Amino acid sequence: MKDYQNYIRNFSIIAHIDHGKSTLADRIIERTGLVSKRDMREQFLDNMDLERERGITIKLQTTRLVYQAKDGNEYIFNLIDTPGHVDFTYEVSRSLAACEGAVLVVDATQGVEAQTLANVYLAMDEDLEIMPVLNKIDLPSARPDEVKQEIEDVIGVEAMDAPLVSAKEGTGIDELLEEIVHKIPAPEGDENGKLKALIFDSYYDNYKGVVIYARIFDGKIKKGDMIRLMNTGKKYEVTEVGTYSPGPVECAQLRAGEVGYVCASIKQVADARVGDTITLAEHPADQPLPGYKRVQSMVYCGIYPAEGEKYENVKDALEKLQVNDAAFHFEPETSTALGYGFRCGFLGLLHMEIIVERLEREFDLAVITTSPSVIYRVVMNDGSVQMVQNPTNLPDPILIDHIEEPMVKADIMVPKEYVGSIMEICQERRGTLLNMEYITETRVNLHYEMPLNEVIYDFFDALKSKTRGYGSLDYEFSRYQPSKVVKLDILLNKDLVDAFSMIVHESKAYTRGRFVCSKLKEILPMHQFEVPIQACIGQKIIARETVRAYRKDVIAKCYGGDISRKKKLLEKQKEGKKRMRQFGTVEVPQEAFTAVLKYDDNK
Amino acid sequence: MTTNNLGLYIHIPFCRKKCKYCDFLSFPCTSEQVYREYVTALCMEMDSRREDCESYVIDSVFIGGGTPSLISPEDIRRLMDTVRKDFHLAEDAEITIETNPASITQAKLDAYLASGINRISIGIQSFDNHILRRLGRLHDKNEAFQKIQMVRKSGFTNINIDLMFGIPEQPMKTWLDTIRQGIFLGPQHISLYSLQLEKGTPLYKEVYEDKLFAPTPEILDREMYHEAIRLLRQAGYVHYEISNTAFPGKESKHNLKYWSYDEYLGLGPGASSFFGGQRFKNHEKMNRYIDAIKKHQVPMDQRSIERYSEKEEMGIYVFTGLRKAEGISLDDFRQRFERDLFSVYDPAILRRYKGLLKLSENQLYLTDAGMDVSNTVMAEFV
């Protein structure tokens, strides 16, 4: 091991949402003197507003910190943050691969959660040193001893000496920093070997192009090097290397064991895929680093400009988002109901929601999203296979031999009093219980196999609602399985609105049909004529509702010349109308498209 | 401005008792002294507006409320004298006072006429005692008849009665009886208002919270409206605005100002104005209004001043104009805004609202059916 490597610690913080990861990271950054407390925005690492609001980290940010340890030496801490949601498992695993250790934050009041476990397993897969920390120790409901025991029982790592911290109040942070020095191994690697650097994140910068975050495993990289990305095979010239502390600071080179950024005039993040290996074009490494996977979208939906919104604007925004998000992709499509729009692929439902919200907030665009869909494997009578993700493209049933749907393995962790209701909602969603284990006396891990189609619909909402927020979910794709799925269409005033079409399991078609009809009845405004709402499979109508006609929409009195009041009233009405989409003669409010997907507690 | 005529609205915000459906700005008050002091304040407000109105001719005055008929004959005289002193009042100005049958007296009627008031509006609402009680009105059917007679005999030749329909659990028959009796009494002008249940009013609570009465179904409300219009037309009334009918030539000038993009100046708390190209309101709170007057300031609520863009003003022009049966004139629009109406708004609106919105001989107007859903159509233009 080289001398400089002795003073480097590369680590991640892993935690369940809400367990205080970001706050803890803030405290560490503050304590190492990088940012003064006064100048610090809360939760430094979460730098997108949306993340702040949801309290979850989506996009990684890596920071180089300098810690003055009690042994008198200065240590470089490379804090590599990881996203905190099931949709981003692959990104998490690549970030972890860049580290030697992981600080596992467990909420001392809540204990271990499914997602914590999932991330711990990922860390273990990368052979990381796991260093547990108990957070929220200041809360009266904290039960550190029990939770330590739980960590030992469930995760199987030594936890009795785990630092007790309160990230909120800043207690225990010094002990934690010392522990990092002692427990987390220093990096290894040959700085004179052939370059092997792992891309674990990237983002697009308007001036520099794609900025790659990389961990150097062997060799070194500097400005002017010709590099090759081993999986995509593309070559670039390095224009800058440096570290983030927290702003970019250019440096002469990055050596084995170090973490930093690399710029090489790369046009979009999709060209510098997470998990790819950087090597030198002249003296390439023999093998890329293991673990690279191509991004696979799991969930698709249509995104259309809302009434009055320009197609081009939406397209520009999607392109901008794509430049920065290798996991998101889109292509143009048309819908008879919604006109020109885009079919978009996402890692999961959260990823989809994030993209849609960013379109609305950052780009101020009004868009309509259609029912999310998974990819069905349609086996035709002639034996050929079609992958279908847009319900509209489902071939004529006569030509289909059978359809297969994607299944996932889902780990659901809940306090035991909720097991009954969880089994019920899993049952309703065609889940098969594979295994059930008691993690502790009060907490259960349920292993289910479930159709992804059911998971993306409203499962997460239902889970949260049935467990008062205590349940957690983690899932991953397992296999394709033949399934009796049918296409459910919705007709408004006898016209098919393709944007509402969805593929559902035969056994669910009636309930879903009825649900969508009654939901639309609630949401559709009254028109000057009756509007029948019908749900059908093929020609067969399976559910029906009617929105009655309105007859009156007039203000009789004149408010003594208060025109402004009347104007405001009309504006409000118009505002409501603007959010409507005209389908033939029927006006549909935008929210109808998402409302029909939402979990309804009272149904 | 193509005209320098001005309508004057004078607000009297007192009632003996607030009606159960009312959400207008008025307070229960019976103190003669308060009335007197308030009228003094109004006179001071007029004084303060004297210069601003130099270049205008007042061609309509509307004393509305509240219940202006609570005010004593002397105070009414004082008010009208001040109007004449401070402003140029046209010879043929339409001067209206709103009254409640319960507070009409011969002495007041004489004073009205003597002070130049030439139009009287009587809040009858219904000739059915059940309905009158449900509304919380102070008068009954007999008093309504008596007072209308008294007004006529006094020499008023321009009388309006307000009638109301769509009252919770009001049967069609009761309403048509009210209309027939109204027609029989022969006022020159009949207003018919579809009752709006406003949140915060006792009647709203009785209907939607206590569920004492069922609200009138929309369909019935519209049948009541159209049936009444039919009867009124038969009797020679012209349906000239959504809620107003009159014998030809007796349309309310003042009312039409609101819908014809004409200027009006409102006096009294909460009164709205469209004056000097600006839209604003007076302070709604009585004490703030009085305070401003005492300091010889214009009692305008600065926050209420609206500065609309030209496009917004076009919208106002259109949606107010559409309240009138004749609608709006495309020529007038062009003259005022130097644009063609259909270069500003999508002509497809005509197709979308076929049967509701019509264009004929350069007039754009709502059909009878269109009036039922006028907001829907008007919302297209704001």
ipTM given for this complex: 0.88
Start-end of H helices in A491-562: 506-523
**CB-hemisphere CA count at 13 Å for B238?**
11
Q: Is residue B273 in a domain? A: no
β-sheet bridge partners, residue A70:
none
Could you give the CA distance from residue B56 to residue B62 in angstroms, rounded to a whole number? Answer: 16
Asked if A553's CB is within 8 angstroms of B258's CB, the reply is: no
Residues B98 and B202 grouped into a single domain: yes
Using an 8 Å CB-CB cutoff, list chain B residues near A567.
312, 315-316, 319, 382
A522-530, long-range: CB < 8 A, 24+ apart: A523/A589, A523/A591, A523/A592, A523/A595, A524/A492, A524/A586, A524/A587, A524/A588, A524/A589, A524/A592, A525/A576, A525/A580, A525/A587, A525/A589, A526/A550, A527/A585, A527/A586, A527/A587, A528/B373, A528/B376, A529/A493, A529/A585
What is the pLDDT, as a whole number, of residue A51? 45
Q: Does A569 touch chain B (CB under 8 A)?
A: yes
State the DSSP H helix or E strand holding residue A77, giving kind and residue range, or none if neither: strand A74-80
Asked if A557's CB is within 8 angstroms of B380's CB, the reply is: no
Using an 8 Å CB-CB cutoff, list chain A residues near B265.
none
Nearest to B382 among A553, A555, A567 (CB): A567
Please tell me the distance in Å from A497's CA to the nearest CA on chain B.
20
Could you give the CA distance from residue A28 to residue A449 in angstroms, rounded to a whole number? Answer: 40
What is the pLDDT, as a whole number, of residue B8? 97
Calculate ∠ Cα A525-A526-A529, nearest 5°: 140
Could you give the CA distance from residue A212 to residue A402 in angstroms, rounded to a whole number? Answer: 44
Residues B152 and B87 grouped into a single domain: yes
Is the backbone peptide bond immediately before B66 cis, with ω within 30 degrees of 0? yes
What percent of chain A is modeled with pLDDT above 70?
91
Using an 8 Å CB-CB cutoff, list chain B residues near A557.
193, 196, 243
Q: Is residue B71 in a domain? A: yes
Residues B202 and B118 grouped into a single domain: yes
Residues B173 and B37 grouped into a single domain: yes
Share the mean pLDDT of chain A. 85
Q: Do A11 and A102 form a contact (C-beta atoms < 8 A)?
A: yes
Q: Is residue B271 in a domain? A: no
What is the pLDDT, as a whole number, of residue A1? 53
Q: Is residue B339 in a domain? A: yes
Q: Is residue B298 in a domain? A: no
Could you give the CA distance from residue B46 to residue B328 in angstroms, rounded to a whole number? Answer: 33
Asked if B272's CB is within 8 angstroms of A560's CB, the reply is: yes
Could you give the CA distance from residue A539 to residue A544 in angstroms, rounded to a whole number? Answer: 13
Comparing A452-456, A507-511, B166-170, which segment has the lowest mean pLDDT? A452-456
What is the arithmetic mean of pLDDT over A475-479?
86
Could you give the CA distance from residue A25 to residue B330 in angstroms, rounded to a whole number? Answer: 67
Residues B252 and B318 grouped into a single domain: no
Strand duo B27-28 + B14-15: pairing: parallel
Nearest to A570 among B9, B257, B319 (CB): B319
Q: Is residue B280 in a domain? A: no
Instruction: List phi, psi (to 5°) of A242.
Output: 180, -170
Residues B363 and B216 grouped into a single domain: no
Could you give the CA distance from residue A8 to residue A29 in angstroms, rounded to a whole number? Answer: 16
How many Cβ pairs within 8 Å bridge chains A and B? 96
- Which of B249, B269, B274 shows the shortest CA–CA distance to B259? B274
pLDDT in tens, B308-328: 999 999 999 999 999 999 999
pLDDT of A38 over the 50 cut: no
Could you give the CA distance from residue A57 to residue A51 in angstroms, rounded to a whole number? Answer: 6
What is the pLDDT, as a whole number, of residue A87? 66
Q: Do B87 and B46 form a contact (C-beta atoms < 8 A)?
A: yes
The dihedral sign for the CA sequence A105, A111, A115, A116: positive
Share the mean pLDDT of chain B. 94
Give B86-106 as a DSSP string: HSEEEEEEEEEEEE-GGG--H
pLDDT of A230 over the 60 cut: yes
Show Cβ contacts of residue A550 under 8 Å, excluding neighbours closer than 6 positions. A526, A527, A528, B218, B373
Q: Does A550 touch chain B (CB under 8 A)?
A: yes
Q: Is residue B219 in a domain? A: yes
What is the pLDDT, as a whole number, of residue A598? 66
What is the arithmetic mean of pLDDT over B259-284?
94
Please tell me the distance in Å from A535's CA to the nearest CA on chain B.
27
Using an 8 Å CB-CB cutoff, list chain B residues near A566.
319-320
pLDDT band at A2 (very low <50, low <70, confident <90, very high): low
Q: Does A551 touch chain B (CB under 8 A)?
A: yes
Last residue within a domain, chosen from B228, B244, B259: B259
pLDDT in tens, A436-445: 988 777 778 8
Using an 8 Å CB-CB cutoff, list chain B residues near A547.
none
Residues B193 and B81 grouped into a single domain: yes
**What is the number of H-type helices and E-type strands within chain A?**
14, 32
Residues B122 and B225 grouped into a single domain: yes
Using an 8 Å CB-CB cutoff, list chain B residues near A556.
193-196, 242-243
Comparing A186-190, A248-252, A351-355, which segment has the lowest mean pLDDT? A351-355
pLDDT in tens, B195-215: 999 889 999 999 999 999 999
What is the arithmetic mean of pLDDT over A415-431?
91
CATH of the domain at B349: 1.10.10.920
What is the pLDDT, as a whole number, of residue A574? 82
Show Cβ contacts of residue A424 under 8 Å, excluding neighbours closer than 6 positions. none
pLDDT of A84 over the 60 cut: no
- Which of A468, A460, A511, A457 shows the shortest CA–CA distance to A488? A511
Last residue within a domain, chosen from B198, B231, B259: B259
Q: Do B253 and B204 form a contact (C-beta atoms < 8 A)?
A: no
pLDDT of B357 over the 80 cut: yes
What is the arithmetic mean of pLDDT over B326-348?
94
What is the pLDDT, as a whole number, of residue B302? 92
Tracing tokens 């290798």 back to the chain, one arrives at: A326
pLDDT of A152 over the 60 cut: yes
What is the pLDDT, as a whole number, of residue A18? 65
Please tell me the distance in Å from B22's CA to the nearest CA on chain A.
11
Residues B227 and B319 grouped into a single domain: no
Nearest to B375 among A560, A563, A570 (CB): A570
Last residue within a domain, chosen from B217, B238, B259: B259
Q: How many domains does chain B have?
A: 2
Show Cβ contacts of residue A255 under 8 Å, excluding neighbours closer than 6 positions. A2, A4, A191, A216, A220
Comparing A166-175, A565-574, B289-298, which segment has the lowest mean pLDDT? A565-574
- Which of B166, B71, B151 shows the shortest CA–CA distance to B113? B151
Comparing A76-80, A105-109, A598-602, which segment has the lowest mean pLDDT? A598-602
Could you give the CA distance from residue A513 to residue A522 in angstroms, rounded to a whole number? Answer: 14
pLDDT in tens, B9-19: 999 999 999 99
What is the pLDDT, as a whole number, of residue A443? 77
Asked if B218's CB is within 8 angstroms of A567's CB, the reply is: no
Please tell me the distance in Å from B180's CA to the nearest CA on chain A.
21
Asked if A574's CB is within 8 angstroms of B372's CB, the reply is: no
* Residue range(s) defining the domain that contains residue B13: 5-259
Could you give the CA distance from residue B359 to residue B365 in angstroms, rounded to a whole number? Answer: 6
What is the arithmetic mean of pLDDT over A106-126?
82
Cβ–Cβ contacts within 10 Å for residue B1, how many? Answer: 13
What is the pLDDT, as a whole number, of residue A39? 44
Nearest to B194 among A554, A566, A569 (CB): A554
Q: Is residue B270 in a domain? A: no
pLDDT band at A552 (very low <50, low <70, confident <90, very high): confident
- Which of A66, A259, A103 shows the shortest CA–CA distance to A179? A103
Show Cβ contacts of residue A469 under 8 Å, excluding neighbours closer than 6 positions. none
Residues B151 and B224 grouped into a single domain: yes
Is the backbone peptide bond immediately before B299 cis, with ω within 30 degrees of 0? no
Using an 8 Å CB-CB cutoff, list chain A residues near B193.
556-557
Comparing A38-52, A445-459, A465-479, B223-237, which segment has the lowest mean pLDDT? A38-52
pLDDT band at A411 (very low <50, low <70, confident <90, very high): confident
pLDDT of A55 over the 50 cut: no
Q: Which residues of B touch A (CB under 8 A)?
A: 9, 11, 24, 64, 193-196, 218-219, 221-222, 242-243, 255, 257-258, 264, 266, 271-274, 279, 281, 304, 306, 312, 315-316, 319-320, 323, 371-376, 378-380, 382
Asked if B272's CB is within 8 angstroms of A559's CB, the reply is: yes
Strand duo A329-335 + B159-165: pairing: unpaired
Residues B377 and B252 grouped into a single domain: no
pLDDT band at A53 (very low <50, low <70, confident <90, very high): very low
- Which of A76, A132, A75 shows the shortest CA–CA distance to A102? A132
Coil, helix or strand at residue A233: coil
CATH of the domain at B95: 3.20.20.70
pLDDT in tens, A334-361: 887 788 999 999 887 778 888 888 888 8
Nearest to B264 among A553, A561, A564 (CB): A561
Q: What is the pTM of this model?
A: 0.59
Please tell me the distance in Å from A551's CA to the nearest CA on chain B.
6
Residues B322 and B192 grouped into a single domain: no
Could you give the CA distance from residue B81 to residue B77 in angstroms, rounded to a whole number? Answer: 6
What is the arithmetic mean of pLDDT over A91-117?
87
Altogether, the residues listed in chain A come to a count of 603
